[in-house]
Structure 1
Amino acid sequence: MEQGISSSKPAIATFGGHVYSQAGLAASLSFRAAQKAGNNGGQGKKFGIHTIHGFFSEAGRGDRPFIYEVTNLASNTLFPNLLVTVRQPMSPSTNPERDYFLEADTDLPLGPVCFSAMISFRPDAISPLDTQEPSVQARFADILNSRRPAEWDPAPIADVDGILAALPGARQAVGTFPCLEMRKVDMRAHNAGRPLHERRELILHRLLAPLPDESGRDGDGDGQCAIGGPDAHICAHAYGVDRNGLLMIGNHTAELGHEIVGGASLSYSFVVHVNAEDAAMTYDEGDGEWWVQEACFPRVQVGRGIIHNGITRWKSKHVGEKKEKL
């Protein structure tokens, strides 16, 4: 859980993007291990995550680990796909401090599946056709060019208008969100008076530190990590895009006179439109390489809503998109 709004003890509930992105990483590790063993086809090709379709069935709890199980759905040499099911122990961690989880926790009796995901992989390809809608940078050039990316306020710790209005300095609080620095573009003037489906939110993100490369080495050339390469970057994008989504849709419906008293993600789909390495982020301690998320809210009805996010490199092409339903 992200901290920073108050000094109170954080809630036991967890951020859905955590289990979602880790499911993608678990699938990537399993797929790479199978490739090395030579028993899943596609040898000699460079594969990357193509889609992650996740389904939330139980609320996650922050006082115990998530246990990931990866099984093979299909070993098609051009479109392999895997199933990840996630459970948590029925009791809290055996570490009383719970600042990290112990291997012994994996031996505790497990509860029902709290999250499941289907993850597909595609090999790199070259295409003569490359077309897309006008970029977010072109459509919102006046707004985005009005200041440098780092000059926008930090993405709120909890993007709830009532909280931000009640707590002095809440819009400038950086919080403890890991992996990515995130900034929220002020779209209030653009959105004023527009129906929900025409409103937009723009979020900028970049790496807080280098991610490991394919060998597992970190950006300084030392340290080993089992997770590295483009798939780690894809999962980092998916992790960041899930931040505050349901809260933003609640802000807009409340402004239109319809309060949402509660909500939770039910499904989340992430689609990569480019070769995996084209989704890799470059770390820079200066102004760095920023990415732009464009969020829109095309439909809300009967207790359900959908958020559609597109992700674009600051000066490049559309890389991926996310659709989240509640």
Structure 2
Amino acid sequence: MAALTPTEPPSFAQALHLVKLGTAPERYISTFPALSYDYAPNQPLSLARSYGGHAFAQAIWAASQGISTSNPDLHVHEANGYWTQAGFANRPFIYEATTLSLTRSFALRQVTARQPTIPSEECPFPESDAEKNMGPVAFVLTCSFKRRELGSGYGLKFDVEEYGGVLRKELDAHPRHVYLRGPNGQGLIRLADFPSIDVRTPDLREYNGGKRGTSHRRLHVYRASSGRLGLHPNLLAALHAYVSDRAGLDVLRHAFGVDEFGVSGSLNHKIVFHVSPEEMALDDKTWFVQEMSSSRGGDGRGLIESRMWSPSGTLVATTVQDALFRRAQAKLA
């Protein structure tokens, strides 16, 4: 009988849960399947590619494991991930972490992720899956950790009025589900729900009328799906990284008028956190905003930039993502 996903959708902490393997080298195995477009509870493990933001966030959490206990005052400062192979939802990720530099106030860690060459026969994934033959490195992350600096903050506040009445309405009235056009004529694909996270996509067709490239915008608003998420500070940072990869390629599609594409996927994704963890906490009452745009598309690649704002209008994080984005018929303009 094929291995099934858990009957109940996992929480975010469960979805990113890691089990340490032995003592040296420092290795971890994921226990729950990575999110895929067709992820569904109590269904066979998906044969589809996994959501790239899952490996990105889980690698950040893996990098945190060797820091959180010995250096609890060091929190995620920046993460830069590179996808080198497609990830799959029907087998675990095996993460290997190493420390590149460690001082009293700063640490730099590297994480590589591989997967077994064959699907898992159990879910949650058993530690014995880590003994199977491993495929090539699928994802590489460098992640820095920094001690909080004292002093007042400064910076621009998010301008809600920029988008007229779109963000003044009840935000839970915006669509929960997002449908993307699949590659190679596969029709529409609905993004699966994120664990513990309620994400909505405001309709910006009126705002974007006639705007292309840098002027074109996409917004996501997100909050905890229930209560307040009591997560470790570095896992909380990983949550925002998890959201940040949502529908990034769709930004390029609309910003440059691309109707269809062949091969596509993220090449690398960088996130820089600007605030301390307490300013990133999520609950089910207030909404964070991700504001996305693109300044470049061409030569088979596209750049996706985003700013992630707290409910008080403070800039929480900035992301830059470079994606492989090949048009089926012609180059991007």
Task: Give the shorter-chain TM-score range.
Answer: 0.7 to 0.9
Compared with structure 1, are the counterparts of its residues 113 and 161 closer, same or farther at alpha carbon in structure 2 (3 Å cutoff)?
A: closer
1:197 aligns to 2:197 (yes or no): no
Which residue is 1:144 aligned to?
A: 167
Answer yes or no: is 1:160 the counterpart of 2:177: no
User: Do the aligned partners of 2:251 and 2:294 also contact (CA within 8 Å) in 1?
Assistant: no
Using a 3 Å threshold, how does the CA distance of structure 1 residues 59 and 175 change in structure 2: closer, same or farther? closer
Q: Aligned match of 2:237 in 223, 234, 247?
A: 234
Matched residues, number: 284
CA contact (8 A) 2:218 2:293 kept: yes
Match of 1:30?
A: 66
How far, CA to CA, are the matches of 2:216 and 2:254 in structure 1? 12
Q: CA RMSD in A?
A: 2.7
Report Cα offsets for 1:152-185 as digits up to 9, x if no partner: 11140x43399xxx77xx9xx8843322111101
Shift of 1:192: 1.3
- 1:1-326 alignment, distance < 5 Å: 1-3=36-38, 10-35=46-71, 46-95=73-122, 99-132=123-156, 134-145=157-168, 147-156=169-178, 158-160=179-181, 175-209=192-226, 213=230, 228-253=231-256, 256=257, 259-281=260-282, 283-284=283-284, 288-326=285-323
- Is the CA contact (8 Å cut-off) linking 1:212 and 1:229 kept in structure 2? no
- TM, length-normalised to structure 2: 0.78
Cα distance between partner residues in 1 of 2:81 and 2:234: 16
1:261 alignment partner, SS class:
strand
Q: Distance in 1 between matches of 2:252 and 2:110?
A: 30
TM norm structure 1? 0.79
Q: Following the alignment from structure 2 to structure 1, what is the Cα–Cα distance between the partners of residues 228 and 142?
A: 24
CA distance in 2, matches of 1:31, 1:82: 9
Judge conservation of contact 1:82–1:119 (CA < 8 Å) in 2.
yes
Gaps of 5+ in 2: 1-35, 324-333
Offset from partner CA, 1:96-147 (integer Å, 9 cap, x none): xxx4211110111212111010000111122245122x514242243211x1
CA contact (8 A) 1:211 1:232 kept: no
Contact 2:37 2:50 survives alignment (8 Å): no
SS at match of 2:241: helix
Runs of 4+ in 1 over 4 A off after TM superposition: 7-10
Tell me the distance in 1 between the aligned counterparts of 2:81 and 2:316: 19
Q: How much does 1:212 deviate?
A: 6.1
Q: Which has the higher helix share?
A: 1
Gaps of 5+ in 1: 36-44, 214-227
Q: Matched residues in 2 for 1:49 and 1:268: separation?
A: 15
Who is 1:217 aligned against? none
